[in-house]
Amino acid sequence: MGIIRELSDSLANRIAAGEVVERPASVVKELVENALDAGATQVDVELEEAGMKRMTIRDNGHGFYPDDAELAFVRHATSKIKDEHDLFRIKTLGFRGEALASIASVSKVTLKTKRADQEGVQLILEYGKLLERSASAMNRGTELTVEHLFFNTPARLKYLKTTHTELAAITDVLNRMAFAHPEVKFRAIHEGKVLIQTNGSGDVRQALASVYGHQTIQGTLVATASNADYQLTCHLVKPEVTRASKNYITLILNGRSVKNFALSQAVLNGYHTLLPIGRFPIAVIEVTMDPLLIDVNVHPAKREVRLSKEAELCQLIQETIRMTLSRETLIPQVTKPKPKKDPSAQERLDFSYSVDPVEETSSRAVWNYPIPKREAVHETEGRQADQAVSFEGEQQEEVVENAGRTEDNRPKFPHLDVIGQLHSSYIVCSGEDGMYLIDQHAAQERIKYETYKVMFGRPLEQQQQLLLPYTFEVSSDDMKRMEEILPLLLEVGIELEAFGPQSFIVREVPTWFPSHRQEETIQELMDEALMKQKVDIEQYREDAAIMMACKKSIKANHPLNEEMMRRLIVDLSQTEMPFTCPHGRPVIIEWTTYELEKLFKRVM
Ligand code: ADP
Ligand code: MG
């Protein structure tokens, strides 16, 4: 007596139709999913020519009943669902009973399987036809070998890419499986070379380490959150480590790795300005929920899913990531990797994060050389906007106090004493843990960006009449779009009145508006709005704040006196995300005392 049965026609027809196996990676995915559904704790994959010549997937799961072995290769025969009701509560990775039938129809398959309480069985099938059935002496589990994949479908065979590309796709599948199931020991070998090997400890971080290396995942943050519907665990590799594509974000919903544009976008929104433009994070986002909330029956290869409450989940993800990152001290440390230990590590200065406990220092270096006072540099910018963010003005605070605190109540931003300025561009500081360099332009950009963003949110509170109104000429091309963008500009406090057929006039500006080169700034805000494809106030505010912050910040090569530097650090320490500029570049880097002592050979 077996457990596999054929689905009724009506149920089979409700299953998302389409190609289940299109390339070796999809075969690997289906077979590994079967192993996991069989309760395997260990899965071994062996590949030749990226699986195109041959692949074997071996597991220690429950195995097939002898009576089921042949039935498993019939289309829509499955042990995992029985009726329509089950289709809405899927707890297994497979459910359609299609994979084995599809794979067997385009290859030569050898199945060896044994349940603990049954005789072992071996089946050999070629292009869907059973060639041989015999007994198989083996331990509990299943071994499935696929050979000559797509040999009988030359069109498909031609479509396959190079071994290298197919292997990359397989590796991607296996990596995601390993992150989704850290409790399973995975081992994959391609022509004698290990592709992936995990220890099955149940810890996602260890799976991440085996894929990306310990160095890369050092300091990975783990955040958990939940609401009435979802339990969320995020593994966030430090934002300093980035990749060129979104592909390194793994979304795991109820143990299944899926693609979902909105959820990936929520992850990126969570990182926000911590990532440089065009760079993406490495993150594993695990979500568990009632299976009723997730429809997995929408994509033939089960890559995509439909969620009933997608917007709520997006918000939970975005806020959790944002809050977690905003609580952390994310200062890249300048470290010299130990030579030879990691063969890929080069002899160069490398950045890594200080989120992990820093190694204890035996003694503290004494810095604080007296620095010559310089003359205050004349501030070229207007006062109103710069009050919150400039170096001008009253007596400076003696102690740099920090607004933000980390979860364990340490100040997020270190207490820093100014030592001096380097190349009129970097502020050199000493702190408890070492020496810090601050990029003065990036720091002011961050400060101004956060200020402008708040200001753009409440623009019409206080306006100030201009003595001489500004007039703007608009090209006839741009005239067509002016009506659309006028509300955007009004949102940031700039009211443009029609003034002749192709010109506009501005009579007042918000009181916080920087006074220097106002006309130019308004023109740039107009240009920024005209560049937009669609009208999105939030996005416009964001982009306008970044643009103005960049234009209005002190550049490199600008001498600052000590007070200006101190002021800048105080303002920086009070921002929400002091460690990167709005473009995601670092604002501050650290040489730990320990690293310095190593460089001076005071410690080994
Ligand atoms: P599905 O996974 O959708 O049920 P498949 O064609 O992948 O469909 O597999 C058909 C059936 O074969 C499964 O329902 C399961 O009962 C059985 N099976 C497949 N692979 C294994 C395995 N590795 N161990 C035990 N049983 C398996
Ligand atoms: Mg399956």
The 3-class secondary structure across 500-553, one letter per residue, is CCCEEEEEEEECCCCCCCHHHHHHHHHHHHHHCCCCCHHHHHHHHHHHHHHHCC
Q: In the prediction, which pLDDT does 365 show? A: 23
Nearest atom in ligand 1 to 102's CA = 6
Question: How many domains are contained in the chain?
Answer: 4
Length of the chain: 604
Looking at the structure, tell me whether residues 309 and 229 fall in a common domain.
yes
Distance 534 CA to ligand 2 centre (A): 44
Looking at the structure, tell me whether residues 431 and 417 fall in a common domain.
yes
Selection from 398, 381, 400, 434 nearest residue 549 by Cα: 381
Give every residue of the chain whose pLDDT is below 70, as ranges: 17-18, 336-404, 459-461
Looking at the structure, tell me whether residues 269 and 305 fall in a common domain.
yes
- CATH number, domain with residue 423: 3.30.1540.20
Whether residue 1 is contained in a domain is answered as no
Q: In the prediction, which pLDDT does 456 show? A: 86
Looking at the structure, tell me whether residues 355 and 447 fall in a common domain.
yes
Q: End-to-end alpha-carbon separation of the chain, Å?
A: 68
CB contact at 8 A, 420 and 482: no
Distance 176 CA to ligand 2 centre (A): 17
How far apart are the C-alpha atoms of 299 and 19, rounded to whole Å? 9
Mutate to test the pocket of ligand 1, among 32, 90, 100, 142 (most ligand atoms within 8 A of CB): 100
Among 274, 300, 326, which residue terminates a domain? 326
CB contact at 8 A, 579 and 588: yes
Q: In the prediction, which pLDDT does 338 show? A: 52
Whether residue 210 is contained in a domain is answered as no
Q: In the prediction, which pLDDT does 405 show? A: 73
Measured by CA distance, the residue closest to atom 1 of ligand 1 is 97
Please work out, in degrees rounded to the nearest 5, the angle formed at the alpha carbon of residue 451 by the alpha carbons of 445 and 453: 95
Nearest atom in ligand 1 to 35's CA = 23
How far apart are the C-alpha atoms of 42 and 27, rounded to whole Å? 18
Whether residue 206 is contained in a domain is answered as no
Q: Which residue has the tokens 């890419």?
A: 161
Whether residue 2 is contained in a domain is answered as no
Distance 296 CA to ligand 2 centre (A): 13
Looking at the structure, tell me whether residues 29 and 136 fall in a common domain.
yes
How far apart are the C-alpha atoms of 411 and 574, rounded to whole Å? 11
**Ligand lying nearest the CA atom of residue 64:** 1
Looking at the structure, tell me whether residues 372 and 419 fall in a common domain.
yes
The count of C-alpha atoms lying within 13 angstroms of the C-alpha of 270, restricted to the half-sphere facing its C-beta, is 32
Whether residue 72 is contained in a domain is answered as yes
How far apart are the C-alpha atoms of 239 and 355, rounded to whole Å? 11
How far apart are the C-alpha atoms of 70 and 86, rounded to whole Å? 24
Phi-psi region of 182 (alpha: psi -120 to 50; beta: other; left: phi over 0): alpha
Please work out, in degrees rounded to the nearest 5, the angle formed at the alpha carbon of residue 422 by the alpha carbons of 388 and 336: 110
What DSSP string describes 281-306?
E-EEEEEEE-GGGEE-TTSTTS-B-E
Residues flanking ligand 1, CB < 6 Å: 4, 30, 34-35, 37-38, 59, 61-64, 72, 78-80, 94-101, 142
Looking at the structure, tell me whether residues 386 and 245 fall in a common domain.
no
Q: In the prediction, which pLDDT does 410 show? A: 74
- CATH number, domain with residue 253: 3.30.230.10
Looking at the structure, tell me whether residues 74 and 104 fall in a common domain.
yes
CA 532 vs CA 223, 478, 483, 529: distances in Å: 35, 12, 13, 5
Range of the domain at 63: 9-201
Whether residue 457 is contained in a domain is answered as no
Q: In the prediction, which pLDDT does 400 show? A: 37
**Ligand lying nearest the CA atom of residue 95:** 1
- CATH number, domain with residue 109: 3.30.565.10
CB contact at 8 A, 495 and 482: no
Looking at the structure, tell me whether residues 76 and 131 fall in a common domain.
yes
**Segments of 60-120 assigned E as strands:** 77-78, 108-114
Whether residue 502 is contained in a domain is answered as yes
- CATH number, domain with residue 469: 3.30.1370.100
Task: Give every CB contact of residue 537 below 8 A, 6+ residues apart in sequence.
Answer: 487, 488, 491
Looking at the structure, tell me whether residues 148 and 176 fall in a common domain.
yes
Secondary structure of residue 222 in the 3-state scheme: strand
**Ligand lying nearest the CA atom of residue 57:** 1
Q: In the prediction, which pLDDT does 337 show? A: 54
Q: What is the DSSP letter of 486?
A: H
Whether residue 4 is contained in a domain is answered as no
Backbone phi and psi for residue 225, each to the nearest 5 degrees, phi listed first:
-160, 160
Mutate to test the pocket of ligand 1, among 28, 37, 140, 144 (most ligand atoms within 8 A of CB): 37
Secondary structure of residue 340 in the 3-state scheme: coil
How far apart are the C-alpha atoms of 137 and 118, rounded to whole Å? 11
How far apart are the C-alpha atoms of 333 and 435, rounded to whole Å? 10
Q: pLDDT tens-digit profile of 115-143?
A: 999 999 999 999 999 999 999 999 999 99
Looking at the structure, tell me whether residues 24 and 160 fall in a common domain.
yes
CA 50 vs CA 29, 43, 151: distances in Å: 13, 17, 15
Distance 40 CA to ligand 1 centre (A): 12
Distance 94 CA to ligand 1 centre (A): 8
Looking at the structure, tell me whether residues 490 and 533 fall in a common domain.
yes
Print burial letters for 284-313: b (CB count within 10 Å at least 16), e (below 16): bbbbebeeebbbbbeebbbeebebebbeeb
Strands 221-226, 230-236: pairing is: antiparallel
From the CA atom positions of the chain, what is the Rg in Å? 30
CB contact at 8 A, 507 and 519: no
Measured by CA distance, the residue closest to atom 25 of ligand 1 is 63
Among 271, 306, 326, which residue terminates a domain? 326
Task: Give every CB contact of residue 500 below 8 A, 6+ residues apart in sequence.
Answer: none
Measured by CA distance, the residue closest to atom 21 of ligand 1 is 34
CB contact at 8 A, 572 and 447: yes
Print burial letters for 270-280: b (CB count within 10 Å at least 16), e (below 16): bbbbbbbeeeb
